[in-house]
């Protein structure tokens, strides 16, 4: 919700009825948000502080994002594109690409700092929650075509949830545990073993 009770959407859309948005301001706001998250934490972060650091106004922030939660989500949890390998299908390679993408998305200092409060605020707003999930999953259809429905396409959204959930649990509960190469290897082995090397969906 915006200050006047309406809703707005972030992204590259133009401001309603106005001039195209200035991408330099967008970038300055995102940078300021990432910097301040590390300095103040999520609870202490304010839109006024972000605006001051970015050299703009809180009104400019509200023209782009509905509030702090949406802005922080976009700033620290970038919707990484899952790299779709070329060439013949390789189930293990495809799964590794997905796990690596989610690892990169979550394995950042600002994500670790913001995640607890961000999750609570996002879950409390169903409309915002749906929007955030849609943004993070926007490139799954392309990746699904790579997997193929005969192998695991129908389960791909669940697979993404499982990997993201494991990363989130590791950050929130096992705070000293890294999202490192060993974690990626273990996740790939676990998932590939569940579907079997032939991608049939059943472990050998």
Low-confidence ranges of the chain (pLDDT < 50): 1-19, 149-150, 152-153, 198-204
Full-model pTM: 0.71
Question: Cα separations (Å) of 167 from 99, 105, 108, 137, 185?
Answer: 10, 10, 12, 16, 13
Tell me what pLDDT residue 15 has: 43
Predicted pLDDT of residue 18: 46
Residue 79 confidence (pLDDT) = 65
pLDDT value at residue 149: 45
Confirm if 153 and 144 have CB atoms less than 8 A apart.
yes
pLDDT at site 25: 92
Q: Where are the beta strands (DSSP E) in 4-157?
A: none
pLDDT at 101: 84
Angle between helices 109-123 and 126-136 (to 10 degrees): 140
Which domains are assigned to the chain? 23-76 (1.10.10.60), 91-195 (no CATH)
- Return the SS3 of 136: helix
């Amino acid at each position: 919700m915006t200050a006047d009770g309406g809703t707005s959407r972030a992204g590259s859309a133009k401001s309603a009825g106005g001039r195209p948005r200035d991408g330099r301001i967008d970038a300055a706001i995102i940078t300021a948000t990432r910097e301040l998250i590390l300095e103040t934490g999520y609870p202490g972060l304010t839109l006024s502080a972000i605006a001051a650091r970015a050299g703009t106004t809180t009104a400019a922030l509200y023209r782009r994002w509905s509030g702090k939660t949406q802005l922080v989500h976009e700033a620290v949890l970038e919707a990484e594109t899952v790299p779709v390998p070329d060439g013949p299908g390789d189930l293990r390679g495809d799964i590794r690409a997905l796990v690596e993408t989610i690892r990169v998305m979550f394995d950042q200092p600002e994500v670790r700092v913001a995640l607890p409060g961000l999750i609570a605020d996002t879950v409390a707003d169903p409309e915002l929650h749906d929007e955030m999930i849609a943004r993070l999953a926007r490139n799954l259809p392309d990746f699904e075509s790579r997997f193929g429905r005969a192998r695991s396409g129908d389960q791909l959204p669940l697979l993404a949830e499982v990997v993201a959930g494991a990363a989130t649990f590791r950050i929130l509960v096992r705070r000293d545990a890294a999202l490192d190469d060993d974690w990626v290897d273990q996740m790939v082995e676990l998932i590939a073993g569940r579907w079997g090397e032939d991608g049939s969906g059943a472990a050998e």
